[in-house]
Amino acid sequence: MTTTGASGPVHSEITNVGIVLDGVIVRNAVVLAEPSKTLTLVTLAGDKSPSDSLHPPGLFTFRVLWQQTPACHQPIKVAWRAVATHKLQVLASLCSCFKEGDKANTMQTTYNGLELPKDGAPIQYENGHYQIPDNPIVPFIEGDGTGRDIWKASQRVFDAAVEKAYGGKRKIKWFEIFAGEKAFRQFNNWLPDESVAAARDLRISIKGPLTTPVGGGIRSLNVALRQILDLYACVRPVKYYQGVPSPVKHPEKLNIVLFRENTEDVYAGIEFKQGSAEAARLIEFLNEDLLKGGKKKIRTDSGVGIKPISIFGTKRLVRYAIRYALETGRKTVTLVHKGNIQKFTEGAFREWGYEVATQEFRNQTVTERESWILGNVEANPGITVEQNAALIEPGLEFAPQSFRDSVYAEVKSVLDSIGKSHGNGAWKSKVLVNDRIADSIFQQIIIRPSDYSVLATPNLNGDYISDAAAAQVGGLGIAPGANIGDGYAVFEATHGTAPKYADKDVINPGSVILSGVMMLEFMGWKEAAKLIEDALEKTILQKFVTYDFERQTAGATKVGTSEFATRIIGNM
């Protein structure tokens, strides 16, 4: 059966398609297959979407990496990825008719020609929770350049910590997958589909640095992995370890965890080269349609990029950051943005972030302005609404009446809605949600680092700020990171490949080692994680360090990558 849409494309309708979610056939549906390999899933009447709280039943769009025919009788797991329009991009495939509730057996036994460890078990994810076996299969990407030296050293550290912490009762079963230069040499593909499939099927993985060319050539493999697996949160903890050389007087005061939105903003990769037909068409449309009659024009010799920031992308990132703060006892969440200039993208990020705090976490959070209003009442119980408004908005008396009225209404609304639940000092025990302009936060984390704990940022801002913060506590050589989505996580080095130092056994493996610490904590193996952290800090305090720290540390002994790892193991 075929149908014709509003714009004319012809669809092929395939009914009774089983969709696999978290290993279970959860529904039958109608799929409209377009020639462009985009599938549209129309849920049946009365059916429910994967997450009813986020996505109402209706129309969802799928992007397919590969396709199987209905005759294959092999379902493929799907990973839901929603955007603001309630359309979903999915790693999906067609399968034949299955009954709801049937178990799906879709795990491959080999990836890129390598067989999974027979004595290992895959990590499972059900109902929003990971199920970690004692012998989890964890994929790793060695990395390009110095990644080879770093990975060998790091893996020894991980294995030693797990053995010491659990006495052989737990053991990671490592499984190599390929990306970057090694993948290109072996498979003529920078990011093989089966590497992505392994990272998806096995859930939690770790990687070294990968080549990212500037200008032409391939796009960033790191960004590609994040987008394909919908790893929407880049999580970067920044804390100081004793003995690490630092350019600031009190690096120990900086202890933040940065949550950077990973899939949108200018990193969405929607850009058009100067001189291309696409750029010319877009510029013409903007100049002659949207900007027609105004003073603003885009120069015709421009390259053009698009900066999408959505409600959905923003809210799930901020939601994750606030939940993390609540679960770990951190007291502030700061929304970092450039909303004073980019009002409808980064300014909207700020607004939507506050909506998450006040609508979804009302009993556990207080905004900075709310804390001022409540604090003013505590300091002066007889204060009027107008007096309170004047204190939170200096110069209010010179503002237009309409603005003054809006501030009065804000004060009254706060007191009416949370005066009882958050008043009388109760707000002081809540997570404080505030916001800062992006350029000011660079100064703030230097002069007032202890004021900040959790930062939530759009993509580009987070990229800048995380590296700048890392510089205060030792640099990228010791900065861990993770890219996390719903059901998937990739832990990674945050630095580049430094090819001129490749295979010389000199590079600091701290970034991958501490990313492994993050991974172990994420898996719930906190004892092994703490062993590594403590031993790494002890090794640095003993002044046995790689060249990057040795040249900044008086009396230090320079050691290679492998010896640094050996000394960490010895200090466990």
- Residues serving a catalytic function are 267, 338, 439, 463
Rounded to the nearest 10 degrees, what angle do helices 510-523 and 147-166 cross at? 40
The secondary structure of 450-470 as a DSSP string is GG-SEEEE-HHHHHHHHHHHH
- CB-side exposure of 313: number of CA atoms within 13 Å? 29
Return the DSSP state at 220: P
Q: Which backbone phi and psi does 315 adopt, to 5 degrees?
A: -70, -35
Q: Residue 14, SS3?
A: strand
User: String of b and e for 200-212 (b: at least 16 CB within 10 Å)?
Assistant: bbbbbbbbbbbbb
Cβ neighbors of 427 (< 8 A, separation 6 or more) are 366, 370, 371, 374, 375, 418
Residue whose C-alpha is closest to residue 107's, from 96, 88, 120, 97? 120
**What is the C-alpha separation between 32 and 483, in angstroms, rounded?**
32
Sign of CA dihedral 116, 198, 62, 276: negative
**What is the C-alpha separation between 356 and 476, in angstroms, rounded?**
32
Whether 478 and 511 have beta carbons less than 8 Å apart is answered as yes
**What is the C-alpha separation between 108 and 93, in angstroms, rounded?**
15
494: how many CB neighbours lie within 10 A of its CB? 23
Whether 28 and 41 have beta carbons less than 8 Å apart is answered as no
Whether 460 and 265 have beta carbons less than 8 Å apart is answered as yes
**What is the C-alpha separation between 232 and 84, in angstroms, rounded?**
14
Q: Token pair 């985009």 is at which residue?
A: 38
**What is the C-alpha separation between 122 and 77, in angstroms, rounded?**
14
Cβ neighbors of 294 (< 8 A, separation 6 or more) are none
Residue 243, Ramachandran bin (φ over 0: left; ψ between -120 and 50: alpha; else beta) = left
Whether 131 and 123 have beta carbons less than 8 Å apart is answered as yes
**What is the C-alpha separation between 317 and 309, in angstroms, rounded?**
12
411: how many CB neighbours lie within 10 A of its CB? 26
Residue 53, Ramachandran bin (φ over 0: left; ψ between -120 and 50: alpha; else beta) = alpha
Strands 304-305 and 557-558: unpaired
Cα–chain-centroid distance for residue 175?
23
Q: Which backbone phi and psi does 5 adopt, to 5 degrees?
A: -80, 180
**What is the C-alpha separation between 195 and 112, in angstroms, rounded?**
7
Beta-bridge mates of residue 206: 140, 491
